[in-house]
Amino acid sequence: MTKAKQATTIASAGIDYDKYSNMTTSQLLNSLESAKKKRVKFQTQANNANALIDFLTDKIRDSLKKPKYDFVPYEKSGLPELAKKVKKQFTPKELARLREELKSEISADYGDEF
């Protein structure tokens, strides 16, 4: 492949090599330094983007591993003790009335409510 054809092929990738062909050595050195700085800048940006992608992927993975709901077992909720305290406050007559009320609610026929 000739240099002209190579320059044309590479120029289609976004680099115009023709502008460098007539430069002095000092201009070429300056262009080289500039190109190296750009490469470092782009590599840094790529590394930062990769680090962000890794971080976000880990955060998403961690959030998907967590349970959606944090259930507390009945025994650890403190409700049995509270129920016992409340039950002690009722007289036997009130407890009997509440049991009857509960039975009637449970056995009630709600028919066509829906």
Contact 81, 88 (CB under 8 A): no
pLDDT in tens, 22-59: 999 999 999 999 999 999 999 999 999 999 999 999 99
Distance CA 21, CA 15 (A): 13
Q: What pTM does this model have?
A: 0.46
pLDDT in tens, 55-106: 999 999 998 888 777 788 888 888 989 989 998 999 999 999 999 999 998 9
pLDDT in the model for residue 14: 85
**pLDDT for residue 5 is more than 70:** no
Which amino acid, residue 108?
Answer: A
pLDDT in the model for residue 30: 96
